[in-house]
Chains A and B, each alone.
Chain A
Amino acid sequence: MRRRQVNLWLGAALVGLMTAVALVSLFWTPYDVTQLTISRKFEPPSPTNWLGTDQLGRDVVSLLMAASVNSLTVAFVAVGIGGSIGTALGLAASAWGGWVETLVMRLADLGFAFPALLFAIMLAAAFGPSLGNAILAIAFINIPIFARVARGAANQVWTRDFVLAGQVAGLGRLRLTVDHILPNIAAPIIVQATIEFAVAILAEAALSYLGLGAQPPLPSWGRMLAEAQTLMYLAPELAIYPGLCIIAAVLGFGLLGDGLRDVTDPRLTRARA
């Protein structure tokens, strides 16, 4: 009982902080991240630049803040697209059954054969690397995940009395799905989305680190790490901060997702205790 509350609140606090920082950075950062002052490069932390400056004299705190927008936006768009398509497919599979269900589930199995990285590599080779392609790749791997979760949850709801009553009353499958099934599978979908948010932030960071995601000059934690790696002997601390931000974000959404699942589905807590 106590542990799940800790997960939930720690996760919520981290996610809240991260979102607040991202929102603030849309209007204000301590320094302009596009402003280069080469004469002030590699400055140590000081009261004016809390974490010092990078190889181009940019304020590291400002860069980290601006990069959080990129991470959250990519995760939101990618999980949003993949989650919506996946949920719709899963609901359709559950509502119509038969060959529709078989087809959707086989396609979902196939989707699992392509990790986001492979998909991003394919898109980068065919269309050139870009943030858009990275988002598409992350969205794509979310489709089969949500299709499975939605179908599993929906199949349970279809056996409930109020759905049977709706069928007897002559409601069509589409109407039942939209009005009655979807609201009743919202909890597992939201939990999954929160967890996939964490995965998406991790994936975006890795893709941007490899040069397949955010392109310069867009600030991104992954790209900051790639640049810092080449300066490891000059300014090792630059390779620390973006990693800590990634961990905080991933941990935040992961814990929040776990906490939400425990709250919305108490059966699981007992099974995992």
Chain B
Amino acid sequence: MQIFLIRRSLGFLATLFAISVIVFLVMNVLPGDPAVTILGIDSTEDARAALRAELGLDRPIWLRYGDWVWGAVRGDFGTSYFFRVPVSELIAERLPLTLSLAGLAMLATVLLGVTLGIVAAANHGRTGDWLIMVLSQLGIAVPAFWLSILLVLLFAVKLRWLPPGGFPGWDEPVLALRSLVLPTVALALVQSAVLARVTRSSALEVMRLDFVRTARATGLPPGRIWGRHILPNALVPIVTIVGMQVAAVVTGTIVIENVFYLPGLGRLVFQSIANRDLFTVQALVVMFAGIVVTANFLVDIAYALIDPRLKGRLA
């Protein structure tokens, strides 16, 4: 177990390192001169030279990479060329909104997805099962941004129950939560469609096994059979998918924040692309990729904790 943890942690760190190299290469080396990327092709050579000196772009590439990584490790992502403030400050301002949205969406996904999956499995072969499966097949095909537009059309434009977009800030918690309802639903509906399918098939697998039949035969109430016998054994595939969904939801916030004009990290990415704010985009891409990798890493650790069979094999 400990060997597994150490090996997996080293792999995790190596992946983070590799990500930083890839992002740095794609954004700093492939395009040629970052000064041209930032200032545009119609800029003068003097202006480019001045910018190169200002940003330290005239130094050797490996030195720039080293400085960038060393800074990033300490939470310093350099200065935003457009906003003229530290990138870490921009991130700190917007991170709470993005994390709240992602957290709410994950919570809704798990509650809805697992519940629907259990209902479908418990009613295997009947109308309820069929209905949930058809809906989830549809849900997988629906683009989250289109679902968002439909939700806005119905609940903001037609019924006027909820705001169509924007964010009033956390000073007004009720209004803030209200403006997160539609984005959360848009993110969670699509993801819970996937989770419902996985939960259903995983539960069906377990329900066929002998110990469940024995539990039934001994007259245990259905709630107890589900809680003590079926769900714990059906958990591994569910946790795998939930882990992948953390990554999907976090990158999904980039899209959804832009649909609803929410001032989070996803909006910042697009503002920074439009502003040619190369280093802000670079920091954000590394952050998002880092979150994806961290989610996968935690899932691997969770496996070892929830599945005793794996525990033995991994030791």
- A residues near B (Cβ < 8 Å) are 109-110, 112-115, 117-118, 121-127, 129, 198, 202, 205-206, 209-211, 225, 228-229, 232-233, 236, 239-240, 242-243, 246-247, 250-251, 254-255, 271-273
Which residues in chain B, 146-193, are within 8 Å of chain A measured between CB atoms?
Answer: 146, 149-150, 152-153, 157, 164
The verdict on A113 contacting B272 (CB below 8 Å), with A121-B285, A225-B149, A236-B157 known, is: no
- Listed from nearest, the 6 A-B pairs whose CB atoms lie closest are A243-B146, A125-B281, A250-B141, A251-B141, A126-B31, A115-B251
Which residues in chain B, 249-268, are within 8 Å of chain A measured between CB atoms?
Answer: 251, 254-255, 258-259
| A243 contact set on B, CB distance < 8 A | 142-143, 146, 149-150
Give min CB distance, B271 to chain A, whole Å. Answer: 11
Which residues in chain B, 261-288, are within 8 Å of chain A measured between CB atoms?
Answer: 269-270, 272-273, 276, 278, 281-282, 284-285, 288
A225 touches B157 (CB 8 A): no
The verdict on A115 contacting B27 (CB below 8 Å), with A229-B259, A246-B143, A251-B138 known, is: no
Tell me if B91 counts as interface (CB < 8 A to partner A): no
Tell me which of B18, B150, B292 contacts A115 (CB under 8 A). B292
A247 touches B27 (CB 8 A): no
A126 touches B145 (CB 8 A): no
Q: What are 11 A-to-B residue pairs whose CB atoms are below 8 Å?
A: A110-B15, A110-B19, A117-B251, A118-B251, A125-B285, A225-B146, A229-B149, A229-B259, A239-B153, A240-B150, A251-B137
- B residues near A (Cβ < 8 Å) are 15, 18-19, 22-23, 26-27, 30-31, 37, 137-138, 140-146, 149-150, 152-153, 157, 164, 201, 204-205, 247-248, 251, 254-255, 258-259, 269-270, 272-273, 276, 278, 281-282, 284-285, 288-289, 292-293, 296
A233 touches B143 (CB 8 A): no
A254 touches B269 (CB 8 A): no
- Cβ-closest chain A residue relative to B282: A125
- Cβ-closest chain B residue relative to A127: B31
Tell me which of B141, B272, B273, B292 contacts A129 (CB under 8 A). B273
Question: What CA separation (Å) do A271 and B205 show in the bound complex?
Answer: 8
Give min CB distance, B120 to chain A, whole Å. Answer: 13
Question: What CA separation (Å) do A201 and B181 show in the bound complex?
Answer: 27
| B259 contact set on A, CB distance < 8 A | 229
| A240 contact set on B, CB distance < 8 A | 150
Give min CB distance, B295 to chain A, whole Å. Answer: 10
Given pairs A115-B251, A126-B27, A209-B145, 4 additional interface contacts (CB within 8 A): A110-B15, A126-B30, A236-B153, A240-B150
A125 touches B278 (CB 8 A): yes
Question: What CA separation (Å) do A242 and B269 show in the bound complex?
Answer: 26
Question: What CA separation (Å) do A125 and B288 show in the bound complex?
Answer: 15
The verdict on A113 contacting B15 (CB below 8 Å), with A122-B26, A129-B273 known, is: yes
| A210 contact set on B, CB distance < 8 A | 255, 258, 270
B149 touches A239 (CB 8 A): yes
B273 touches A246 (CB 8 A): no
Question: What CA separation (Å) do A251 and B144 show in the bound complex?
Answer: 14
| A242 contact set on B, CB distance < 8 A | 146
Give min CB distance, B18 to chain A, whole Å. Answer: 5
Give min CB distance, B201 to chain A, whole Å. Answer: 6
| A255 contact set on B, CB distance < 8 A | 137
| B137 contact set on A, CB distance < 8 A | 251, 254-255
B138 touches A118 (CB 8 A): no
Question: What CA separation (Å) do A125 and B18 show in the bound complex?
Answer: 20
Tell me which of A113, A228, A232, A250 contacts B292 (CB under 8 A). A113
B251 touches A247 (CB 8 A): no
Give min CB distance, B290 to chain A, whole Å. Answer: 8
- Cβ-closest chain A residue relative to B255: A206
Question: What CA separation (Å) do A205 and B254 show in the bound complex?
Answer: 15
B153 touches A126 (CB 8 A): no
| B150 contact set on A, CB distance < 8 A | 239-240, 243
Question: What CA separation (Å) do A200 and B138 show in the bound complex?
Answer: 17
Tell me which of A121, A202, A205 contacts B281 (CB under 8 A). A121
- Cβ-closest chain A residue relative to B276: A125
Residue with the greatest number of chain A CB neighbours at <10 A, chosen from B153, B248, B281 = B153
The verdict on A114 contacting B289 (CB below 8 Å), with A229-B149, A232-B153, A251-B138 known, is: yes
The verdict on A233 contacting B23 (CB below 8 Å), with A113-B289, A243-B143 known, is: no
A125 touches B149 (CB 8 A): no
Tell me which of B138, B201, B284, B285 contacts A247 (CB under 8 A). B138
| B27 contact set on A, CB distance < 8 A | 122, 125-126
Give min CB distance, B249 to chain A, whole Å. Answer: 11
Question: What CA separation (Å) do A198 and B157 show in the bound complex?
Answer: 31
Give min CB distance, A18 to chain B, whole Å. Answer: 13
Question: What CA separation (Å) do A118 and B276 show in the bound complex?
Answer: 16
- Cβ-closest chain A residue relative to B201: A272
| B204 contact set on A, CB distance < 8 A | 273
| B140 contact set on A, CB distance < 8 A | 250, 254
Give min CB distance, B110 to chain A, whole Å. Answer: 20
| B205 contact set on A, CB distance < 8 A | 271
The verdict on A205 contacting B143 (CB below 8 Å), with A113-B293, A125-B273, A126-B278 known, is: yes
A109 touches B145 (CB 8 A): no
Question: What CA separation (Å) do A158 and B205 show in the bound complex?
Answer: 30
The verdict on A110 contacting B201 (CB below 8 Å), with A127-B31, A232-B149 known, is: no
